[in-house]
Amino acid sequence: MEALHEAVKDLEVAARPNPQGLLFPARNGALRNPNNFGRTWRAARGENFAWVTPRTFGKGVATAVDHAYEDTARAARQLGNTVEVARTHYIDVPETVPDNREVLERWVRGASPKV
């Protein structure tokens, strides 16, 4: 929070209009147009973070909420999407799986797979 307050103070010192105390105001001090965000974001992220897009943030948020609460509907609501859209396009499925070797070994040997 301290860093954010410092950023707003820097805008005041630079005598840029910022009547609403915004962290990233438009040049005239108003709210930024969301349609212009992409251009500003690309300039700010540079080449090192070219992989970071607005969708990257959505995926991170949806995945964190889904994994924390094991509730895809909750993650979808956070993004303002349907469960199907969140599941298909935003929530990452872990690349690792649980250790099922014991069950699979029993199955291969013809024993009951129940542990």
Give pTM, 2 decimals: 0.56
Question: CA-CA distance, 51 to 87, in Å (whole number)?
Answer: 21
Token readout for 100 is: 């099922």
Report the interhelical angle of 54-69 vs 37-45 (nearest 10°). Answer: 90
Sole residue written with tokens 């797979």: 113
Check residue 35 and report its DSSP letter.
G
Per-residue pLDDT of the chain (115 residues; tens, 9 = 90+): 787 788 777 777 777 777 887 777 787 888 888 778 788 888 888 899 999 988 999 999 999 999 999 999 999 999 999 999 999 999 998 777 788 888 888 888 887 766 5
